[in-house]
Amino acid sequence: MMVNTLGLHTFAISPVWDIALIEPQMETLKAHGVGLLEIPLLRPQELDVEATAAFARRHDVELLCSLGLPASLDVASRPDEALAFLAPAMRATQAIGAAALAGVTYGTIGKTSGRAPTRAEIDGICRFLEKAAGQAASHGLRLGIEPCNRYETHLVNRASDAVRIVEQVGAPNLFIHLDTYHMHIEEESFEAGFRVAAPYLGYVHVSEANRGVPGRGMLNWQDAFRAIAAIGYEGPIALESMNHVDADIAGGLAIWRPVAENPQDVIEVGLPFLRDTAGRAGLTLGR
């Protein structure tokens, strides 16, 4: 039976990658089947790559890095500045042994024009991603793009938007990173969104409609997991909950209050709920 690696975005535990905060949780996380941790690279130069790589070996856990670009950058008009920002992130991702850098790699979370993307913006994103994918390939990395809801970006909102960009760029190491939170807002259905992204899908965030404890919000989890199972997706599936969010990104995510009354419920209640619900949809989630 195929097993999807169960991941956890470390915002569930800490606002930044902090081994001192995360390590005491590892016994519990491993018991819940977590085999991958997602590290937010908001300030790549702050990551202690040697300590992080040693941590991953110590706990036999995979790592994946993610980010959104700073608000000062514009990939369409000033691509070289954005590529320069990504360079240390890619070096750090490679150095810790992660296979991919994902997230809003094409823009800034929380930055919108208030209008539909222009042809010039999309073409600029594609030119940038072609260079960024080449940069990633030189480090042996895959590069993901995550569609986000219309309140966080106007550039790439739906799976179909991401597919058009991936196909226009044509880089073999460029993949789509879907998130059930954004899909719940933007897609006609989970089935439609996952089906259109299937040929390029490389990473999935599972996140409740209120970013809190899975199963305690309005997301239709059975539909989401059935849709993932229907396309035969074999990649990682990672819980993203905004328990603790770094100040540099909290505004863009519109996080200003706790997403769970008891933050530990995200782990102790949310992870078992996800594994059980996935199992009933025909997926084996986690080790």
Q: Is the pLDDT of residue 257 over 70?
A: no
Q: Is the pLDDT of residue 166 over 50?
A: yes
Q: Given this model, what pLDDT does residue 262 score?
A: 73
Which superfamily does CATH assign the domain made up of 3-285 to?
Divalent-metal-dependent TIM barrel enzymes (3.20.20.150)
Structure tokens at 32: 């819940």
Q: Given this model, what pLDDT does residue 15 score?
A: 80
Give the three-class secondary structure for 227: helix
Q: Given this model, what pLDDT does residue 94 score?
A: 98
Q: What are phi and psi of 170, to 5 degrees?
A: 75, 15
Q: Is the pLDDT of residue 9 over 90?
A: yes
| pTM for this prediction | 0.94
Q: Is the pLDDT of residue 238 over 70?
A: yes
Q: Are 229 and 2 in contact (CB under 8 A)?
A: no
Q: pLDDT tens digits, residue range 36-70? A: 999 999 888 889 999 999 999 999 999 999 999 99
Angstrom CA distances, 211 to 1, 79, 236, 245, 255, stand at: 30, 32, 19, 12, 9
What whole-number distance in Å separates Cα of residue 33 and Cα of residue 283? 14
Query: Residue 61: enclosing H or E segment and its boundaries?
Result: none
Q: Given this model, what pLDDT does residue 245 score?
A: 54
Q: Given this model, what pLDDT does residue 119 score?
A: 96
Query: Residue 264: enclosing H or E segment and its boundaries?
Result: none
